[in-house]
Amino acid sequence: MSREMNLILMGPPGSGKGTQAVRLVEKFGIPQISTGNILREAVASRSPIGLRAEAIMTKGDLVPDEVMIEIVRERLARSDCKPGFVLDGFPRTQKQAAALDKILIDQGREPVRVIALTVADEELRRRILARGEGRADDTEETAARRLEVYRRDTQPVLDHYRVQLRSVVGTGALDDVTKRILGELGAAA
């Protein structure tokens, strides 16, 4: 592949991001970079940034942007990310989005492509409540709250990426959604 496939897959809870991310990873042979996984890796590595993150998490606090940004910077510098990556859970804020842009410039990388999966609220609530592995707290109220928090926190990130943002309908057969995403990326199915 001559062109890097640097992707951010966004969408509310229940939109199918995780399923589609796995398909894109397989299609392009690129890693899925999950913030949860790279935080655990950083802590396990006992690196200075990992120890800092561990101290913060041990107190029950959220890892601040500057620590998360540094962990993402280190992860994207690894050789398996050279052909590209699918980011999962990052960026969550406009500050993180601006930092990601800078990381890619500093590393001589191509800008990210952003795919936002769109699904009607009624369908999202149905999916959240019907998930086989459902969370214990997945009730009508918590589903509505999670969707509200996603929209509030994510809108600034979507606005940041408005030039490279492509919206894809996230309903229908899985293969159809994947084909729509690949079409927006200019890739054959």
Which residues are annotated as catalytic?
Answer: 17, 92, 131, 135, 146
- 168: enclosing H helix or E strand: strand 165-169
- C-alpha gyration radius of the chain: 17
DSSP state of 46: T
Largest Cα–Cα separation, the chain = 47
Q: Give the CA distances from residue 182 to residues 133, 150, 166, 176, in Å, rounded to whole numbers and listed in that order.
A: 28, 24, 11, 10
Among candidates 119, 114, 123, which has minimal Cα distance to 181?
114
